[in-house]
A = this chain, B = another copy of it.
């Protein structure tokens, strides 16, 4: 819920026009929850999901193996 508060405050007390949420791996589903709750419950009719991009990051772990992790960026914009 703290993430939702953060998004709502960006739009209300900070006057932001757009907020971009980013997450990797298993936190992607929580990122979608935060976007949905912010845009549909707390800021209904004020903001909307603008753009969603998914991607992958690749790196080597401590054992030198190639690891791939998914990422998401969700842009929320003032209507």
CB-CB under 8 A for A32 and B74, given A49-B54, A52-B52: no
Partner of A37, one of B40, B68, B74: B68
Whether A6 sits at the interface, judged by CB under 8 Å, is no
Pair A56/B40 contact, Cβ less than 8 Å: yes
Pair A54/B74 contact, Cβ less than 8 Å: yes
Interface residue tally for chain A (C-beta within 8 Å): 22
A21-79: which have CB < 8 Å to B? 25-29, 32-33, 35-37, 40-41, 49, 52-56, 68, 70, 72, 74
Pair B49/A36 contact, Cβ less than 8 Å: no
A-B CB proximity, top 3 nearest? A28-B29, A52-B52, A32-B70
